């Protein structure tokens, strides 16, 4: 029998693909572990849809470049369809000839688009000459059938003018948003500006049927708060008590008594029934998902900060349910940080130079202080200095800087931070579309060190710093057991520069201490600058995306892998201190690199790298696509050392997880983690990855106009037994095997003995 190695490799790849499909989204998982807050934003205009009394059309989230027109079921409070129009809309009208057609107009530029309301197909569009037949349906409110008297709302009967229904106005009532008398009677109230409550008639009463929260639209920053299991906290207390006890004997006695009490409580809880305890220990009736969510670290509160200055806590295991919300009353929030390691306090910075501290005691937020920065200028960006607690580097719109210290005791500012004075030097790198700037912070003074300014025809379109990762291996073991050493120098950043004059896009790798460019690579395949580009920097590799128009329009994905040397087993870094490149000590060796280009079938908007606790799980590149879907591909597929299958030598095939080079990367439907969802990420969305307690699992969220979260397992769920795993059967089998072994053993040994004595 002869099996060729190629066949083996293909067999392996197909096996890998089929096993990796197991971790992807399947219909029973869809809508179970993932959740989405589909937002409209504050409603600007609302008109009834003539086809169906249950439906209305809503215009919201108008900006200078886009607006959102949605079809909404006013009886149930459900979004039926959302459509982003690429221009500002200030009016929507129904065509009087055919009520199925909607015309969206911008009155100043006279731009309009006409849609079929059945399927939202664009029928016609133009500038000026808005179809003359359009009419605006009469406004449903103000309406003389609804009157507000004191803190009550009355709906009057049309003929008699007597109050037919009465309603006590809810706290924070703002205005009547929509009213329709005809069957079904519907009333929508706007409360606290961003909440909408829909009422309908039940007998003689008006009762609330649905409620929508529109404040958490357009997220600008986030923070994550872990929810701990109270039992773990208890255990932690016990451990602490043991550590602090006077002698070993005391500690031992403490453990013995607490565990004894625990056993007693367990027996009591189960009414001293051994059967119950047995099933409980075996976990046969473990339907308690909350406990496992707590244990696996899925239970978290996702805190989001919106552009309009709202901050909200979302329960990540309860479909993103809003736990609390706070209106910070600031104009344009930009950044949010934890001020302490215990995650008890947040600081929020706004564009106009205000900052607020928010305390989170017992998981409820309170605004502790509200002040403004000592410099009255508009804030461009805020960086938290990790090495110096409570210090922030603030950059203003005019490129000036401020080193700002938050006094942890009062939440007040001190612009002369003698308290946290530290002699150490710190290197900071900042960037904008014109350049990259290096600073050094020494004795609480900011000094410029280097700058890389691009020419007026050039623009920095994407930037990423090498993130901190856990070091698990120094190199890659090749098929012949030799090792290629990874380039692990930490102070690196990668960026992309577009050049309009030359029609090129250039990838650069820069040393953030000296500003020296270590690697540069230019693409001349006529990149399209109108389409998005992005870059991510993993442990020793960079992946970036851009759209090229030559020879055919294609989305490109490029991987660059950095090695100390491309010669196997050659190690240039000093093994004793792991520093392979340190410009300050004169220890210089530049990386050597390999690169490969791939073609991707969809336009990529944004990318991020999946994060796990120990960085052992294979990394995945998570991508937000232009069509609003989110997908991921394992980094293994983007292998810069890959060769076409027919060129692979036997040694190459022996390498662990070696994949041949295939220039086109397909999208597997099972890897589309948004599956059937209609996601509107918006222009400034953030694609993030959050670690859990399980090494295999990473939480992926897309925060922007909508909020979407799910969990992915790029290497499969290797550390979690499936819920269908039959613990009981396994134990019974082991038990039977043990019994059999004990029964058979004497007979086997007597047989052996007889054989030795040649008795047959």
Ligand X SMILES: *[C@@H]1O[C@H](CO)[C@@H](O)[C@H](O)[C@H]1NC(C)=O
> Which range, of 63-71, 281-289, 405-413, 688-696, touches ligand X by CB under 6 A?
63-71
- Residue 479 sits at the vertex; the CA angle it makes with 536 and 618, to the nearest 5 degrees, is 30
Distance from first CA to last CA of the chain, Å, rounded?
A: 41
Q: How far apart are CA 667 and CA 602, in angstroms?
A: 8
Stretch that binds ligand X, among 59-67, 116-124, 518-526, 624-632 (CB under 6 A): 59-67
Separation of alpha carbons 611 and 503, rounded Å = 35
Which range of residues in 62-70, 118-126, 642-650, 721-729 is near ligand X by CB under 6 A? 62-70
> Which tokens sit at 608?
């991020």
Nearer to ligand X, 326 or 462 (CB): 326
Write each residue from 292 to 311 as x if it is in contact with ligand X (CB under 6 A), else as -, in one continuous string. --------------------
Nearer to ligand X, 104 or 658 (CB): 104
Chain-centre distance for alpha carbon 422? 35
Closer residue to ligand X (CB): 56 or 302 = 56
Nearer residue to ligand X within complex by CB, 172 or 435: 172
Our CB check for ligand X shows the closer of 108 and 230 to be 108
Question: E strands within 34-117?
Answer: 35-37, 43-48, 55-60, 67-73, 78-85, 91-95, 101-106, 111-116
Is residue 15 reached through a cis peptide bond, with omega within 30 degrees of 0 on the bond before it? Answer: no
Q: Which is nearer to ligand X, 35 or 87 (CB)?
A: 87
Tell which one of 3, 27, 64, 376 touches ligand X (CB under 6 A).
64
Per CB under 6 A, 53 contacts ligand X: no
Say if CB 45 and CB 59 are below 8 A apart: yes
Q: What are phi and psi of 167, to 5 degrees?
A: -145, 135
Residue 583 zone, left/alpha/beta (φ > 0; ψ -120 to 50; rest): alpha
| Alpha-carbon distance values, 702 to 31, 218, 672, 687 (Å) | 16, 11, 13, 4
Nearer to ligand X, 361 or 678 (CB): 678
Mark 143-172 with x for binding to ligand X (rule: CB under 6 A) and - for no binding.
Answer: ---------------------------xxx
The secondary element (H helix, E strand) that includes residue 688 is strand 686-691
Min CB(361)–ligand X separation in Å: 19
Interacting residues with ligand X between 88 and 127 (CB under 6 A) = 88, 90, 106-109
> Any residues with CB less than 8 A from the CB of 443 and at least 6 apart, and which?
421, 423
- Check whether the bond before 142 is cis (ω within 30° of 0): yes
Site membership for ligand X, residue 332 (CB under 6 A): no
CB 117 within 8 A of CB 71: yes
Q: Which residue, 106 or 617, is less far from ligand X as judged by CB?
A: 106
Closest CB to ligand X among residues 642, 682: 682
User: Cβ 107 to ligand X, closest distance in Å?
Assistant: 6
Is residue 620 within 8 Å of 612, Cβ to Cβ? no
CB closer to ligand X out of 201 and 375 = 201
Query: Is residue 383 at the binding interface for ligand X, with CB under 6 A as the rule?
Result: no
Binding mask 29-48 for ligand X (x = CB under 6 A): --------------------
Beta bridge partners, 242, equal none
Q: Tell me: does residue 687 bind ligand X (CB under 6 A).
A: no
Helix, strand, or coil here: 16?
helix
CB of 89 vs ligand X, minimal distance in Å: 7
Helices (H), 244-334: 248-269, 274-282, 289-295
User: Least Å distance between CB 677 and ligand X?
Assistant: 14
Q: Select from 53, 54, 587, 653 the one that contacts ligand X (CB under 6 A).
A: 54
Stretch in the footprint of ligand X (CB under 6 A) among 135-143, 187-195, 276-284, 437-445: 187-195
Task: Report helix, strand or coil for 584.
Answer: helix
Residue of the chain from 48, 312, 642, 682 that contacts ligand X (CB under 6 A): 682
Q: Taking CB under 6 A as the rule, does residue 721 contact ligand X?
A: no
Residues in the chain: 760
Using the minimum distance from each CB to ligand X, give the nearer residue, 322 or 446: 322
Residue nearest to ligand X (CB): 172
User: Exactly one of 705, 707, 708, 715 binds ligand X (CB under 6 A); which one?
Assistant: 705
The answer to whether the CB of 607 falls within 8 A of the CB of 687 is yes
Between the alpha carbon of residue 512 and those of residues 451, 452, 491, 723, 742, the distances in Å are: 10, 11, 5, 47, 67
- Cα 508–chain centre separation: 27
128 binds ligand X (CB under 6 A): no
Q: Is the dihedral of CA 645, 650, 652, 656 positive or negative?
A: positive
Give the count of residues interacting with ligand X (CB under 6 A): 34
713, with CB counted inside 10 A (0-12, 13-18, 19+), is buried
256 binds ligand X (CB under 6 A): no
- Which ranges in 646-712 belong to alpha helices (H)? 650-654
Nearer to ligand X (CB atom), residue 128 or residue 202: 202
Query: Interface residues for ligand X in 69-88 (CB under 6 A)?
Result: 73, 75-76, 84, 87-88
Structure tokens at 46: 């609302």
Residue 512 binds to ligand X (criterion: CB under 6 A): no
Q: In angstroms, what is the minimal distance from the CB of 81 to ligand X?
A: 10
Task: Report the nearest approach of ligand X to the CB of residue 345 (Å).
Answer: 22
Q: Report, in Å, the least distance between residue 204 CB and ligand X.
A: 8
User: Closer to ligand X at the Cβ: 90 or 238?
Assistant: 90
Q: What angle do CA 348, 349, 354 make, to 5 degrees?
A: 115
Enumerate residues 188-217 that contact ligand X by CB under 6 A.
191-192, 195, 202-203, 207
- Exactly one of 187, 223, 609, 680 binds ligand X (CB under 6 A); that residue is 680
**With contact defined as beta carbons under 8 Å apart, do 659 and 679 qualify?**
no
Q: Exactly one of 61, 113, 508, 631 binds ligand X (CB under 6 A); which one? A: 61
**Dihedrals φ, ψ of 568, to 5°?**
-55, 145
The pair phi, psi for residue 211, each rounded to 5°, is -145, 135
Nearest residue (CB) to ligand X, 109 versus 520: 109
Window contacting ligand X (CB under 6 A); options: 65-73, 143-151, 237-245, 255-263: 65-73
DSSP code, position 411: S
Q: Which is nearer to ligand X, 73 or 290 (CB)?
A: 73
| The one among 52, 125, 352, 432 contacting ligand X by CB under 6 A | 52
Query: Which residues of this chain interact with ligand X, rule CB under 6 A?
Result: 52, 54-55, 61, 63-64, 66, 68, 73, 75-76, 84, 87-88, 90, 106-109, 170-172, 191-192, 195, 202-203, 207, 218, 680, 682-684, 705
């Amino acid at each position: 029998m002869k099996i060729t190695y190629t066949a083996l490799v293909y067999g392996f790849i197909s096996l890998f693909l089929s096993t990796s499909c197991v971790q992807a989204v399947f219909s029973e998982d869809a809508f179970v572990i993932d959740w989405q807050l589909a937002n409209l934003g504050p409603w600007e205009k609302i008109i009834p849809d003539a086809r169906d009394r249950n439906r209305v059309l809503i215009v919201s989230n108008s900006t200078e470049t886009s607006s959102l027109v949605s079809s909404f079921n006013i009886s149930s409070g459900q979004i039926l369809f959302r459509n982003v129009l690429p221009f500002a809309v200030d009016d929507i009208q129904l065509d009087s000839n055919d009520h199925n057609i909607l015309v969206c107009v911008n009155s100043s530029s006279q731009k309009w688009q006409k849609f079929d309301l059945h399927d939202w197909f664009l029928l016609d569009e133009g500038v000026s000459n808005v179809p003359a037949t359009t009419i605006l349906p009469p406004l449903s409110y103000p309406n003389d059938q609804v009157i507000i008297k004191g803190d009550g709302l009355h709906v009057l009967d049309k003929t008699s003018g007597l109050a037919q229904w009465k309603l006590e106005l809810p706290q924070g009532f703002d205005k009547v948003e929509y009213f329709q008398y005809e069957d079904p009677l519907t009333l929508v109230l706007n409360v606290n500006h961003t909440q909408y409550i829909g009422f309908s008639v039940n007998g003689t009463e008006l009762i609330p049927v649905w409620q929508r929260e529109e404040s958490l639209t357009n997220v600008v920053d986030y923070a994550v708060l872990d929810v701990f299991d109270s039992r773990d906290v208890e255990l932690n207390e016990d451990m602490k008590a043991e550590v602090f006890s006077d002698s070993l004997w005391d500690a031992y006695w403490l453990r013995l008594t607490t565990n004894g009490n625990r056993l007693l409580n367990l027996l009591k809880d189960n009414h001293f029934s051994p059967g119950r305890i047995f099933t409980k220990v075996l976990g046969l009736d473990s339907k308690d998902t909350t406990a496992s969510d707590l244990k696996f670290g899925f239970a978290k509160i996702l805190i989001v900060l919106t552009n309009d200055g709202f901050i909200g806590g979302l329960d990540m295991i309860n479909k993103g349910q809003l736990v609390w919300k706070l209106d910070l009353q600031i104009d344009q929030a930009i950044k949010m940080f934890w001020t302490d390691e215990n995650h008890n306090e947040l600081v929020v910075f706004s564009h106009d130079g205000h900052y607020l501290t928010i305390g989170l005691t017992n998981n409820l937020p309170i605004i502790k202080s509200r002040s403004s920065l000592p410099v009255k200028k508009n804030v461009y960006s805020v960086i938290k200095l990790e090495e110096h607690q409570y210090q922030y580097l603030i950059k203003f719109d005019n490129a000036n800087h401020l080193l700002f210290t938050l006094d942890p005791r009062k939440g007040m500012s001190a612009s002369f931070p003698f308290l946290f004075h530290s002699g150490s030097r710190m290197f900071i790198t900042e960037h904008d579309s014109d350049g990259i700037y290096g600073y050094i912070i020494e004795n609480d003074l900011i000094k410029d060190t280097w700058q890389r300014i691009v020419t007026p025809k050039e623009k920095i379109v994407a930037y990423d710093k090498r993130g901190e990762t856990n070091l698990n291996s120094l190199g890659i073991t090749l098929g012949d057991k030799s090792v290629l050493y990874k380039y692990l120098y930490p102070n690196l950043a990668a960026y992309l520069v577009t050049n309009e004059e030359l029609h090129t896009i250039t990838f650069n790798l820069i040393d953030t201490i000296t500003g020296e460019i270590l690697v540069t690579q230019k693409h001349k395949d006529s990149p399209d600058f109108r389409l998005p580009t992005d870059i991510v920097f993993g442990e020793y590799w960079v992946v970036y995306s851009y759209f090229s128009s030559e020879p055919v329009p294609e989305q490109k994905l490029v991987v660059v892998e950095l090695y100390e040397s491309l010669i196997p087993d050659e190690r240039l870094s000093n093994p004793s201190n792991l520093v392979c490149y340190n410009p300050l000590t004169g220890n210089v060796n530049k990386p050597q690199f390999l690169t490969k280009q791939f073609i991707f079938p969809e336009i990529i908007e944004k990318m991020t790298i999946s994060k796990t606790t120990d960085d052992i799980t294979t990394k995945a590149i998570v991508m937000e696509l232009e069509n609003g879907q989110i997908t991921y591909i394992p980094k293994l597929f983007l292998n810069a050392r890959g060769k076409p299958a027919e060129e692979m030598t036997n040694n190459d095939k022996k390498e662990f997880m070696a994949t041949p080079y295939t220039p086109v990367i397909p999208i597997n439907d099972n890897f589309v983690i948004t599956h059937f969802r209609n996601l509107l990420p918006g222009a400034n969305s953030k694609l993030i990855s959050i670690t859990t307690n399980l090494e295999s699992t990473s939480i992926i969220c897309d925060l922007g106009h909508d909020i979407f979260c799910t969990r992915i397992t790029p290497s499969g769920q290797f550390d979690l037994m499936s819920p269908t795993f039959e613990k009981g059967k396994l134990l019974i089998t082991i038990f039977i095997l043990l019994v059999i072994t004990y029964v058979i053993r004497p007979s086997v040994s007597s047989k052996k003995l007889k054989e030795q004595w040649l008795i047959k």
